Amino acid sequence: MPPVEKKENAPAPQSPQQPAPEVRPNEEMNGIPSVEESYGTEFIRKGIHFLSLLIPIIYYFVPRATVLWMLVPLTLLFSLSDAARLLIPSFGRLYSRLFGFSPPDA
């Protein structure tokens, strides 16, 4: 095995970066209490998921045109309200007061 050559112009070792802050499960990361702090938040979240299951169930039993007449306006309404929440500060405050789940500004 040939001898290992030392490089004279080797780069100096970089200083170590600061360690990442420790994430604790009970801390609020985005303004929403964690499950450990509030089971009510988890029930609301699960309720939204169960309501989302209604879309394919309704789609199975109701004619397609009727479902589209329901879902297209709802999609537009929620899309516009979300955009307004982000672009209009007064609407964002109202949205946060009514629903309480908007994340804090970055």
**Would residue 48 count as lying in a domain?**
yes
Residue 12 counted as domain residue:
no
Question: Among 44-53, 75-84, 93-102, which range has the highest average pLDDT?
Answer: 75-84
Measured on CA atoms in the order 24, 25, 29, 32, is the torsion positive or negative? negative
Q: What's the structural domain count of the chain?
A: 2
Provide the domain limits for residue 53.
33-62
Does the residue 49 lie in any domain?
Answer: yes
- Pair 55, 71: CB distance under 8 Å: yes
pLDDT band at 106 (very low <50, low <70, confident <90, very high): very low
Q: Per residue in 24-65, pLDDT tens?
A: 554 455 566 665 666 777 888 888 899 889 888 988 999 999
Assigned domain for 27 exists: no
Specify whether 38 is located in the same domain as 51: yes
Tell whether 95 and 69 lie within a shared domain.
Answer: yes
Q: Does the predicted model carry a pTM greater than 0.85? A: no
- Residue 28 located in a structural domain: no
